[in-house]
Every structure is written in C-alpha cells, then in structure tokens.
Structure 1
Amino acid sequence: MALGGLISNRNFGSFIGSGNGCQRLGKSGAEVSKLFPNALLCRNHQPLQASLHHESGHMRRSFGCFLQPRMDSIIRFRNSIKINRSRAYYKSEESDITEGVVPSADGSAEAILVEGNLQNASPWWQQFPRRWVIVLLCFSSFLLCNMDRVNMSIAILPMSQEYNWSSATVGLIQSSFFWGYLLTQILGGIWADKFGGKVVLGFGVVWWSFATIMTPIAARLGLPFLLVVRAFMGIGEGVAMPAMNNMLSKWIPVSERSRSLALVYSGMYLGSVTGLAFSPMLITKFGWPSVFYSFGSLGSIWFLLWLKFAYSSPKDDPDLSEEEKKVILGGSKPREPVTVIPWKLILSKPPVWALIISHFCHNWGTFILLTWMPTYYNQVLKFNLTESGLLCVLPWLTMAVFANIGGWIADTLVSRGLSITNVRKIMQSIGFLGPAFFLSQLSHVKTPAMAVLCMACSQGSDAFSQSGLYSNHQDIGPRYAGVLLGLSNTAGVLAGVFGTAATGYILQRGSWDDVFKVAVALYLIGTLVWNLFATGEKILD
C-alpha cells in the first residue's frame, strides 16, 4: 500500500543530511531503525559510511544501503551547496518512491515528501491483525457471558435465605434461564446469517447485561418478575454462540480456525472461574446485589469497544489491509447475507445429523459434571461447601488450558497436510473417549485426590471438542454456520436439561456409578456416530 510520509532533517537527521550533515550522518543507524524497524541494513560494517566526491563544485555523498526484507533498493543522498537544502532519491524494485521538496516545519531545512511502502513505520497496535481483534472481542464477550451466568449459582444462597425460598423454588429459578436460552438458539443463527454477527452479538450482550442488572430489582418485586428476567437473560445469551460462529466463519481462514475457536470458548471457562472467584468476595463485602450490578455494567464497556472495532465481515472493514484480506478470503469472494434458509437441504445431510447427535451426547456428560460436581464433592468425597466451591474452579481452568492446546494441535495438523475431516475426527474422538475413560475410573479410585484428578482430566480431554464438533459448523457450511450451531446447540441444551433432571432421578434410586455409566454410554455412542458420518468438507454452499 502506498503511503505518504513527511520526513524532516530535524527528525530524520541520520538519514537526510543538512549542510553540516557530515557529523550527523555519522550517527548510528539505530535512529533510522526507530522509524523503520527491522527494515534498514547497510552493506558496510560501519553505519552509513560516506565516500566524498567533488563534482562540478558540489559535494556528493553516496551511500549503499538496502531495505530488508521487503525491498532491495539503493538510497543516494545529495547535499547542495546551499547549507539548508537536502534531497533524497529512492529507487525500489517493488514500488517507486518519489521525491519532492516542501518547506520544513522548523525552517532549518527542507523536508522531503516520500511516497511508498512505509508499512513498517506504523505502531504495533495498528499492525495487529484485524481478524484477531475480532477473536479477542468474541473471547471477552464469552468471558462476560459465563460471569453473568454463574453469579446466580453463588448469589442464590443468600437470596434464598432472605426471601425464604424452598429448594423447589430455587430449582425453578435456576431452570428459568434455559427457557429463554432454548428459544434463541436457532433464531440467533438465522438472525446472524441474515443481519450479520456484529448486530446480533452486540444485541445479545446488551440484552443479557441489562437483565443481569435488573435481577436484584426483579427479586424485590416478586418471584414472577425474577423468573421473567432470568428467562430474558437466557434470550440474550442464547444468540451469543450462533452469532460468534457466524462472524468467525467469515473472518478466520481454515488454517487458524481451531485455535481461534478454542480461544473464544476458553473465554467461557475463564468467565466461570472469574465469576466463581469474585462473587463470594463481592457478596461478603457489599451484599448479593453488588454481583449483578458490577458484572452487568461490564457489558457497556465491551459494547463500546464492539461498536468501534467490530465488523460483521472483512468486506465491511474500511481499515483492513489488502494483505490481510487476501489471507482471510484465500482467493474466494465474500458472500452476500443469507436471505432464505434451505432447511430441507440442511436436514437432509448426514454430517448435519452427526453434529446434532454428537452435540447431544457431548453435553449430557458435560452438564452433569458442571451442575452436579459440587454435590458429588460434598456427598461422596466429603468435602465441605467451601472446599467444593474452590474445587469446582479446577475443571474450568483445565478446560481453558487444554482447549487452546487442542486448537494449536489441530491447526498444526491441518498446516502439515492432514485432511480437515481426519483432524476433526481425531480431536472429537479425544473429546469423547477421554471423558469416558476417566469417568469410568471414578468407581475404582480410593482417595479424594485421585477422584478430583479424574474429574479434571475428564474435563481437560473434553475441551478437545472445541477443535472437533464445535469447529465443524464452519467446515461443512460456513455460509450457514450460525444456523448449524443453533441447531446442534439446541440439542446440546436439551441434553443439559434432561441430563441434569435424569441425574437427580437416578440418584434417588441408584448411585453415582449409574450416573457415570449413562454418561459413558452416550460418549461411546457419540464417538461411533461422529466417526461414521462427520466430515470436514463443505457440503452446504
């Protein structure tokens, strides 16, 4: 990209000499490197050595330098007899940089108008890839998503004491979130594919942040108001995953897909860690309403950054460089927004059903561990409530770490030539068989420490699913990625609802071994279905 820069001899003395430039030109090239980092190298061992030649009454200095790594050029400097005049001539093989003389701002000399590739002169934050700005914003939105979701699990304890809620009422309040969450899984995908992920995800964060702030007010008004607000919060969070998936399908090339999704989903895990860590402190010091007010207000800060830096697709971003646009698009043209969803075509594809069934099998075990783990620690391992709460953080941390490790491994395998289909099957097989193995060992361990280790390893291997089924929506139908994730995640949420309820039913008549056996059986079914019918090839266009 051709850029124009105005360079005066005051600020660029070691590059462009004035009348007394003999002394200035002897300065180290480090001054130049500040403006062109890693760009300027000299052929001589000494910096900018000069050869003096008398020619027609003029003193000429010739310098042999070249620009690396992008340009191989010769820079020649000429000082005229007039003390305060200087010129620079530049010749490049890839781009021509022309010279011009304009008055200097300090009046001591003339400045030079330079046109050419000065990309390396921009600050590092301007050179940071725009696509990874989108990834980091999505990561932070998912961090807020789970912070706002888990705070109720801590705040419900003092709230139930204050309002004298029974266990049945507490269960009703906890489940009301899923009423709205289920409602917008598919709708969120449709809206994102039609209107763009920026609009839908921005709407979702503002909506659930407002609902979070309104929670203490609704609780004081009465139980029906609280149930409605919690359902409204679920509506906002329900669009987050489909909208994010829609955006990354447009912004992230295949070679970076696994690690970008792993980073975004690790935001959910770290959000749970943050929420579980800070909620007790805020409640103890400021009371339970402070959790909802403080966490909810963070959404407004995120929304301002989202409005400033986010775009639904690369073609909408005016600041995106041509180089990065080529990396993102890979020679393909950006597609127009979806106007009609081909439901019959989508539901006729076996890989789509492999996604739906596998998502159900995956979330059954995952939701059981996340919702019933404190009870298991307390009843079976005999930890007190404080210890149980602290140990609940461990699986989330493990998942955050292993999700990013799995993403890096998956992208490395793709870059080394392994087919996307095989990579997705390998990663998801680890995400199924790992938890199945470690959960089956819980009935054989003898110490609480080993049981906690098995739980952590189960969740750690589960995190490889982020590079398996959670990345597959963008593989098989990038244009309908939001709808596909809405479909499969609806099945996943249903698995969480039914699995959580079924666990309570099983525990009344059986044991924890029976609970884990059901989860292991579903993990094995998911492994079989995934490896038989899943693909990494595009099947929807």
Structure 2
Amino acid sequence: MATMTELSSTEEKNKYSQDTQVDEKLILRKAPSLCSTRYGIAFLAHLCNFTIMAQNVIMNISMVTMVNSTGHQSQFNNSTEGPPVDSFGGPNNAPKSLPAGKAPVYDWSPQIQGIIFGSINYGMLLTLVPGGYLAGRVGTKRVLGFSLFGSSILSLFTPLAADLGLVFLIATRLLQGLTQGSVFGGQFALWERWGPPHERSRLCSFALSGMIMGAFMAILLGGVISQALGWPFVFYIFGGIGCVCCLLWFVLVYDDPVSHPWINVTEKEYIISSLAQQVSSSKQSLPIKAVVRSLPFWSICFCSFSHLWLINIFIVYTPTYISSVFHVNIRDNGFLSALPFIVAWVIGVLGGHLADFLLTKNFRIVTVRKIATVLGILPPSAFLVALPYLTSSYITTMTLLTLACGLSSLCQTGVYINALDIAPRYSSFLTGAARGFAQIAAVLAPTVSGFLLSQDSEFGWRNVFLLMFAINLLGLLIYLIFGEGDVQDWAKERKLTRL
C-alpha cells in the first residue's frame, strides 16, 4: 500500500493520475476538516453570496424611506397609493428643493415599487444558465469575480440612477441582475471540484447561507443607515464592501485543488480521490436531449420555482408587511424584518451538517433531500397563510414570520443541491438552468403581489399568501413524485473510442 510520502512523490510526477492508489480511509482520517482549504473556499463563497444578496436586498428596506415622504413633508405615513406622476419621464419626480443633507423621496405607487423590486430579476433570467455553463468551462473564479465586481459598481451607481429618473433606476437594476445571475448560476461549479460527496451538504449549505446572512445584514443595517445617513449611503456602503470582497476572491480562490498553491497535500489527495468516480478527466458535450427529457431535473426546476416564490415574498415584502401592520419606524422595521433571517442562517448551516450526518448513517440521498425540502416549504407556507388572521397579535406574528423564514433555509440542503447528486459532471449548468427557470418566480412574485395589494386593500395580504401557498404545494408535490438522488445514466462518463 502506498505511503503518504510515496503518494506525494507520485503527485508531483503524474498530476494525480487515476492509476495512483490511495488509501482513502487513511487520507480521510488525516485530511483537515474545519481548518482546511475547502472550508476556506466555502467561507469565501459565503462572503460572495453575502455581498451579492445584500446588494440585491437593500432596495427592499431602502424603499420604505424612498417613498415614505412626498413633496415637502417628511411624515412616514403619507399615502403612496395614488398613480405615479411622471413616473417614466423627465429627470424624476423627486422634490425639486430638499433641505440640505436630506435624501430625495419619490411618489411611487405599489405597482411601480413592484416593478422596481422585480426588475433586477429580469436581468438575472438572462445570465443564470450561461453563468452556470461558463463557470463549468472557464472556471468559477473568473465568472464570479467579474460578476461580483460589476454588481458592486452598479450598487454604487444606484442613487445617481434614481436621481436621473425611474427609467435609469430600472435599467441599472436590470444590469445588476445580469451580473448577479452569473453568481447564482455559476457557483456550483466550485463543488464539482472541491466538494467530497459526503461533505457537499454542509459545504453548499454554508456557502449558500451567505445569501441569508446578506439579507439579514442588509435589512438590519439598511434601516439604521437610512435613518442616520440617508438611504443613498446604504448603496454606497454595500457597494464598497463588494469591491473589497472582489479583491479577496481573486487573490484567494482557485477553481480546483490541483491548481491551489497553498493547499495541504493530504487534503488535496482526499478531495481528488473522493471525486475520482464523479468528475471526468476530459470535457464531454452536454447531453441536451437527455436533460430535457429528465423528469428528476424538471422536478428540481418546478420545486425551485415554488420555493423562490416563497423566498421573494420574504425578502421583498417582510419590511412592507411589518410597516403596514405595526406602523413602526424605519429603524425598528429593520430590526424586526432582519430577525427571521438570522434564524434562517443558523438553521441553514445546521441543516447542512444534519444532512451529511444522516448520509453517514446510510440514509438514501433522495430521502435526505426530500425531507429537507418538505420542511423548507410546507411549514413556512402554512405559517404565512395564517398571518392575516393573526394581525392583532404582535408576538404571534413575529414568531410565525421567524419560524417560516428559518425553516425555509432547509431547502439549501434539499432541492437546491440535488443537481450535484443526479449529474455531478454537469451540475453547474443544471443548477444554473434550474435557477434560471425558478427566477421567473422572482420576477413574477413582487409584480403579482404588488398588483394584488393595490387591487384589494382589505384582503390583499391574504390573497398574496394564499397564492404563494398554492404554488408552493404544487411544486413540492412534483418534486416528491419525480425527484431522484442517484446519478442518472445520461450523466455518467461515456467511454469514447477513437479509430
């Protein structure tokens, strides 16, 4: 049996040839875990997701102050229900003379606000699939790094865009969506090369939990910053954070263990040996026809669509819902709206460890994925449906919002990483395609919800939550029926013969 010294020598000569014999149990025992390069990569992916989601979400909390005043008044409870005046024309419809040091405010109806909320998702629709494909071909480091930089620059530009007019603001959000789509679609290519099968749940869930932490910090600090400095500084601060994160990403992240200059040799051997049977040594063409005919893949698409509808209701409308029900100021709204997301972050991280623990206890992968998905969709949807009937109870409302948002993060270890199970060779493309399909929900949810809230002031929230519940139930049923956990035949390595 080869010793670790011999393995190291063989690695230098043969670039980890598949003929090298590795004692996987010995490597697993000696391979570092928490203080390891792969967990460092997961942390940097967590930071990248944190930044991107924060930049995505800050509009939702800033909107409370952007539209909460009119003309020369500063009261927080003025109506914005009327039709917009020159919404798409002129420089903008902000007050012409504002007191020194005060941020501009706008007269945008709920329909217009819904369009602004959803505009970033239109751009994401166009780059989720190409982002996943490019990350698998040219590397995650480049795709995510340039996307993060673009999103950060556009965040810095957002206050100026709003000042130039609603058309410029929506165009900026569209462009920002184009950059962010590559991040959401392309990051799973990392785990094709960095994620041992029995650690993928925890690595992916920790990386994806950055989105939840980003939403938490944006909503928490967005309210404080808006009240203390003005809403434009929310965009300046998180845009600046993104530029710093971009620098760290380019310096510290590498696409695979082989190219990483500082990785421990034992850890490198462990990762490569654990993935030897899943990652092909040569690029293979994507079996498009087989993918289109794959029911397990389509079940991931429809379930992701339904869950993303739920998540967008949380992210976009939690501050608005709390403001409309409890009439709190922007600072308190930020604290209350952020509370559910920190609980979701904790549950998301713990859920990944629990999923990997169940896999070590010989639970089937499909069983673990479906349990996590059921818990991440069904209870949260039911809790939100109950909210309109409990508006008189402050504690009950906040408890249900917190539990619903917290449990929803369990889908990170369920449907969202299922593509890594059924087709690890093509997971970046499949995840991008599934997320691209699901992103339609991110476009429709705020637009449809804004329409429902405008049409029925008395039962608007009830209608929003009932529609969300129906969509979530349908997507969950499709996934439970057709979801799989085994590598599909079309995703296995094909032996090519040459004449």
| TM category, shorter | 0.7 to 0.9
**CA separation of 1:444 and 1:172: change in aligned 2, threshold 3 A:** closer
- Map 1:495-506 → 2, pairs under 5 A: 495-506=441-452
Q: Of residues 120, 123, 128 in structure 2, which corresponds to 1:177? A: 120
Q: Of residues 277, 289, 307 in structure 2, which corresponds to 1:362? A: 307
- Tell me by how many angstroms 1:538 deviates: 1.3
- Tell me by how many angstroms 1:425 deviates: 1.2
Q: Of residues 449, 469, 487 in structure 1, which corresponds to 2:415? A: 469
- Tell me by how many angstroms 1:251 deviates: 0.4
Matched, 1:166 2:115: no
Q: Of residues 412, 421, 428 in structure 2, which corresponds to 1:482? A: 428
Tell me the amino acid that sits aligned with residue 139 of structure 1: H
Matched, 1:152 2:97: no
Higher mean alpha-carbon deviation, 203-212 vs 379-388, is at: 379-388
Q: Of residues 136, 141, 151 in structure 2, which corresponds to 1:208? A: 151
Tell me the amino acid that sits aligned with residue 536 of structure 1: G
**CA separation of 1:449 and 1:490: change in aligned 2, threshold 3 A:** same
Q: Of residues 407, 411, 420 in structure 1, which corresponds to 2:356? A: 411
1:513 aligns to what? 462
1:402 aligns to what? 347
Q: Is the 8 A contact 1:197 1:244 kept in 2?
A: yes
Matched, 1:530 2:486: no
1:30 aligns to what? none
The higher radius of gyration belongs to 1
- Map 1:72-111 → 2, pairs under 5 A: none
Per-residue CA deviations over 1:411-467 (Å, capped at 9, x if unaligned) read: 100111111111111111111222133234435546221122111111111111111
Percent identical pairs in the alignment equals 30
Q: Is the 8 A contact 1:435 1:461 kept in 2?
A: yes
Tell me the amino acid that sits aligned with residue 383 of structure 2: F
State the alpha-carbon separation in 2 of the partners of residues 263 and 225 from structure 1. 35
Q: Is the 8 A contact 2:61 2:319 kept in 1?
A: no
- Tell me by how many angstroms 1:403 deviates: 0.6
State the alpha-carbon separation in 2 of the partners of residues 376 and 287 from structure 1. 22
- Tell me by how many angstroms 1:127 deviates: 9.6
Aligned residues: 425
1:303 aligns to what? 246
- Tell me by how many angstroms 1:285 deviates: 4.3
TM-score, with normalisation over the residues of structure 1?
Answer: 0.72
Q: Is the 8 A contact 1:194 1:339 kept in 2?
A: no
State the alpha-carbon separation in 2 of the partners of residues 333 and 150 from structure 1. 36
- Tell me by how many angstroms 1:358 deviates: 0.6
Report which of the two has the higher share of strand. 1
Coordinate RMSD, CA, aligned:
3.0
Q: Is the 8 A contact 1:195 1:337 kept in 2?
A: no
- Helix, strand or coil at the partner of 1:442: helix
State the alpha-carbon separation in 1 of the partners of residues 269 and 133 from structure 2. 27
Q: Is the 8 A contact 2:64 2:330 kept in 1?
A: no
- Map 1:257-296 → 2, pairs under 5 A: 257-296=200-239
Report which of the two has the higher share of helix. 2
Q: Is the 8 A contact 1:178 1:231 kept in 2?
A: yes
**CA separation of 1:523 and 1:345: change in aligned 2, threshold 3 A:** same
**CA separation of 1:501 and 1:284: change in aligned 2, threshold 3 A:** closer
State the alpha-carbon separation in 1 of the partners of residues 323 and 230 from structure 2. 26
State the alpha-carbon separation in 1 of the partners of residues 384 and 441 from structure 2. 18
Q: Of residues 182, 187, 192 in structure 2, which corresponds to 1:249? A: 192
2:43 aligns to what? 136
Q: Which runs of 5+ in 2 are unaligned?
A: 9-31, 68-93, 95-103, 493-499
**CA separation of 1:335 and 1:266: change in aligned 2, threshold 3 A:** same
Higher mean alpha-carbon deviation, 507-516 vs 427-436, is at: 507-516
Q: Is the 8 A contact 2:220 2:334 kept in 1?
A: no
State the alpha-carbon separation in 1 of the partners of residues 116 and 462 from structure 2. 29
- Helix, strand or coil at the partner of 1:199: helix
- Tell me by how many angstroms 1:207 deviates: 0.9
- Helix, strand or coil at the partner of 2:258: helix
Tell me the amino acid that sits aligned with residue 58 of structure 2: N
Tell me the amino acid that sits aligned with residue 362 of structure 1: H
**CA separation of 1:436 and 1:148: change in aligned 2, threshold 3 A:** closer
State the alpha-carbon separation in 1 of the partners of residues 136 and 478 from structure 2. 28
**CA separation of 1:158 and 1:518: change in aligned 2, threshold 3 A:** closer
Q: Is the 8 A contact 1:242 1:481 kept in 2?
A: no
State the alpha-carbon separation in 1 of the partners of residues 128 and 266 from structure 2. 35
State the alpha-carbon separation in 1 of the partners of residues 281 and 155 from structure 2. 35
Per-residue CA deviations over 1:256-282 (Å, capped at 9, x if unaligned) read: 111112111221111122222323443
- Tell me by how many angstroms 1:334 deviates: 4.7
State the alpha-carbon separation in 2 of the partners of residues 423 and 481 from structure 1. 18
State the alpha-carbon separation in 1 of the partners of residues 395 and 264 from structure 2. 52
- Tell me by how many angstroms 1:240 deviates: 0.9
**Which has the higher relative contact order, 1 or 2, with Cα contacts under 8 A spaced 6 or more apart?**
2
- Tell me by how many angstroms 1:337 deviates: 6.9
Q: Is the 8 A contact 1:135 1:248 kept in 2?
A: no
- Helix, strand or coil at the partner of 2:485: coil
- Tell me by how many angstroms 1:514 deviates: 3.3
State the alpha-carbon separation in 2 of the partners of residues 426 and 192 from structure 1. 30
Q: Is the 8 A contact 2:227 2:331 kept in 1?
A: no
State the alpha-carbon separation in 2 of the partners of residues 449 and 223 from structure 1. 38
Matched, 1:198 2:141: yes
